Structure formats: structure tokens, C-alpha cells
Structure 1
Amino acid sequence: PSLQTGERVSLSLYYESLCPYCADFIVNKLSKIFQNRLIDVVDLRLIPWGNTHILPNSTWACQHGADECFLDVVDACAIRVWPEWTHFRFIHCVERLHLMGKHTEWRSCFTTLALDPTPLYNCYNYGLGYRLEKQYADETFALNPPHRFVPWVVVDGLPLQQDYQNFISYICKAYKGSSLPSACANPSSSYKVDYYESES
């Protein structure tokens, strides 16, 4: 049976494509929610903007240079043209390449994942990606409290701040459905958050 929208836990990741900490989180931590099926109770949103600034002439200054600006737009297009699991796999592939020092080989992810690149290229070439990025910029700038670093993880409106690597425990705490996902019942599949648990 499918979950009602109100039972799902919102999980938002504010990141930038060439941030090594973001790449590590996406590849080695966030991917766990697909492996342990926690994704079944989560609404996952990826927001590729991060610490980018808009200059007075309306151009963007990305923290890790022009390649990052380019790949942020590519990510925005991937999120638009492919469903959740597909665009996550693509972004995961690109970030894994980045961790290996090979982000310029990002196009190989189309072949690796057997994806038709045409929808993404159309999104990029016709300017939709830039409009999507502007929306992500507005959303990032509107964060309250403002993000202080990336990756910036928010669970059901709660910014996890420095405790972002324990996001699975926060998802389990926030879940209001009738049956607790098995990932929450198994301590080995989530990170212990002793100080958070002692507050409840």
C-alpha cells in the first residue's frame, strides 16, 4: 500500500556539485536510504546551489569554479527530466567520479546507467536548467535559519546542522506512519544520535 503524503518525511539536501563533503555524503551516506528502502517513507529533494553567489552583473560565482556552475545546472536538469531514483543514480555517479578526481568524465554516467542523454541536453541547451537553478538559488537564500555550510540537510523542516550525518535517525524520529520501517528498527542501519535521543 502506498503511503499518504502526510506520512512521508521530507528530506532536503542543499549541496553543490564539486564540494568534496557533499560528494562523500551523497555517495556514502545518502545512498543508504535506497539500499535499506527508507526511501519508501521519504520525499527526497536535492537542491544544487550551495554556496554559490550571484554577482551584481547577474552572473554566478561558484565556490569551486566554472565546472561546478556547469554541473550544478546539469544536476538541475537531471532532477527535472528523470524521476527520483533515476536522477539520484545519475548524480550519485557524477559525485562518485568527483571523489575519484574525474568529474570531467561525467558524461560516462549516461553509458554506465544506460540513460538517454537527450532530455538532459535539451534542458541544458534551451536554458531551462538556468531557470531551475535560479529557483534553487531563491530557495537556498530563503532558508531560515540560513545555511552555514554544505551539505546542509533538512528533515521535516528541521536543519540538522553539524549532525547531518545522523540524518537516518532524524527520519525515523519524524516518521508518523503506523509501521516503523525496518531500517529504523535495526540499529546497524542508522547512526546513533545519543544526545538527540536523550532530548525526546
Structure 2
Amino acid sequence: MVSPKLAMIFALTLLPFLFINKSDAASYYPFGLHGDGAEVAPFASQKVDLSVYYASLSQPSATFIVKNLEEIFHSDLINIINLHLVPWANAYVNKTNQSIICQNGPDECELNSLETCALNVWNDVSKHYALIYCFEFLAIEGRQKNWQDCFSQLDLPEEPVLNCYTRENATEIGQKYINETAPLEFLPLVMVNNESIGKEYENFTRYVCEAYRGTPVPAACNGWSTNKF
């Protein structure tokens, strides 16, 4: 059972869509305020790359994804960002049998694998982020073994993700992610346009706004001076 707190967060996010016909419901997901048909053209130029390197059972990583990163989906900031989520940080491959060892044990490898599959099955950031958010929320509460609840809670199909997971595609893809994430001193590692912002990761909005050079400036950047040529 997903916690009442998580259910409330999702319910509030879905409030504008309560009267949509069920046949149309598949087009709408929590945090999916800017889906495939959304109008984002005014902000389409010169998007900022925001990359988050993390491990699924790292508490600072989970807290960042749930508490901080979700803010971009409740503002127009998402319109100027290319979001890249990269799990498997600080995991490594056992050269003897090619298995993957995760910093926080087998449960983390399982969740990393599932999140890897979500990222690769769905190009729509609103879908894979919603599922990862739910997984990480459970991880914060120590209930990561209940990950399957997230599919029903979000009305997302299990089959494509579980097919990826059970066919071991996730392990193969995971090894590619591991190659991207050299051992890191702390997690999460947040990069704006390929530049680390170090331990200032909770203030990523400032760095995104300062890096953005398109027009118009999103309302979320009000109060931050942006760099312009």
C-alpha cells in the first residue's frame, strides 16, 4: 500500500485532470503537465542540460529527486531543461562473473535496474520521472520492496518495464550507465551543461537559470540573474 502522503501528492498533481474521460487518462500522469502535446515552443531554443547521477538507495539522492527535483514539474522550468537521470552511481562490475555490485546492496541493484528500464522504455520524461519519484519515495521510507505498488498507484503499465527487467536488459544497460559514472565522492552529482555544481545541488534552479540564454525567461527564474550575450 502506497503511503497516504504519496497518494496526496499525486492526487494534488492530478487535480486538473479529474474530469477527463477515462479513455484519455493514459495521456496524463503525475508531473506530466508538459506531455507530448504540450505547448513548449516559446522556450524550445537553447535548453539547458540537467544531469543527475545517483544511486537509488542513496538517501541524499532519493531526497533530492523527491523533494527538490520535482519542483521543475510544477513550474515552467521544465520547458527549458533537458533532464537526464543516470542511476547506478558508485556501482561496479565484478570482472569474474560480470555481475554488478551496488554500493547499498542487492535491493539497490534491483531498483537501479527497474529505473534503468523505465528510462529506456519511456522517452516521455513525465512517465519515467513519475515512476522513479514513486520508487524513491518508498526508498526514503525503507519500503523499496513495495515498488510494484507504484505501477497501480500511477496507472502505468507494468509489462514493458518488467519485460526489460526480467530479460536482463537492465543489467546490460546498467553496465553502460556504470561506464558513465566513475566513483563519486558524494551523491547526487548534479551537472548543468556538463559542469558539476558540487554540493550546491539543492540550488540547481539558480544554475539552470544562469545558464539559460533563450527567450523568454521562465517565471521560475525570476529573481535570478541570467547570463546573456
- For normalisation by structure 1, the TM-score amounts to 0.87
SS of 1:7's partner is: coil
CA distance in 2, matches of 1:59, 1:6: 41
Alignment of 1:38 onto 2:77: yes
Q: Tell me what 1:158 maps to.
A: 195
Alignment of 1:101 onto 2:138: no
Q: Tell me what 2:106 maps to.
A: 66
SS of 1:46's partner is: strand
Q: Tell me what 2:215 maps to.
A: 178
**Preserved CA contact (<8 Å) 1:51 1:149:** no
CA distance in 1, matches of 2:56, 2:146: 14
Give the deviation of 1:98 after TM superposition: 1.1
SS of 1:94's partner is: helix
Please tell me the residue identity of whatever aligns with 2:86. I
Q: Tell me what 1:128 maps to.
A: 169
Structure 1 residue corresponding to 2:206, chosen from 166, 169, 178: 169
CA distance in 2, matches of 1:94, 1:3: 33
CA distance in 2, matches of 1:4, 1:121: 35
Structure 2 residue corresponding to 1:87, chosen from 124, 128, 140: 128
CA distance in 2, matches of 1:95, 1:26: 7
CA distance in 1, matches of 2:54, 2:105: 15
CA distance in 2, matches of 1:150, 1:169: 19
- Identity fraction in percent: 36
**Preserved CA contact (<8 Å) 2:100 2:171:** no
SS of 2:181's partner is: helix
CA distance in 1, matches of 2:100, 2:221: 40
Per-residue CA deviations over 1:100-119 (Å, capped at 9, x if unaligned) read 12111010000110011000
Structure 2 residue corresponding to 1:25, chosen from 64, 68, 72: 64
CA distance in 2, matches of 1:75, 1:175: 28
CA distance in 2, matches of 1:126, 1:59: 15
Q: Which runs of 5+ in 1 are unaligned?
A: none
The root-mean-square deviation of aligned C-alpha atoms, in Å, is: 1.9
Give the deviation of 1:186 after TM superposition: 4.9
Please tell me the residue identity of whatever aligns with 2:47. R
Alignment of 1:10 onto 2:49: yes
Per-residue CA deviations over 1:49-93 (Å, capped at 9, x if unaligned) read 111122231222211100101110100000111221110000000
CA distance in 1, matches of 2:194, 2:154: 32
Give the deviation of 1:4 after TM superposition: 7.7
CA distance in 2, matches of 1:97, 1:186: 34
Structure-2 change in CA distance of 1:147 and 1:5 (3 Å): farther
CA distance in 1, matches of 2:45, 2:180: 22
Per-residue CA deviations over 1:1-27 (Å, capped at 9, x if unaligned) read 526865100000000111111010000
Per-residue CA deviations over 1:118-166 (Å, capped at 9, x if unaligned) read 000111122221121111111113xxxx632210000001101111111
**Preserved CA contact (<8 Å) 1:75 1:91:** yes
Please tell me the residue identity of whatever aligns with 2:164. C
CA distance in 2, matches of 1:106, 1:8: 32
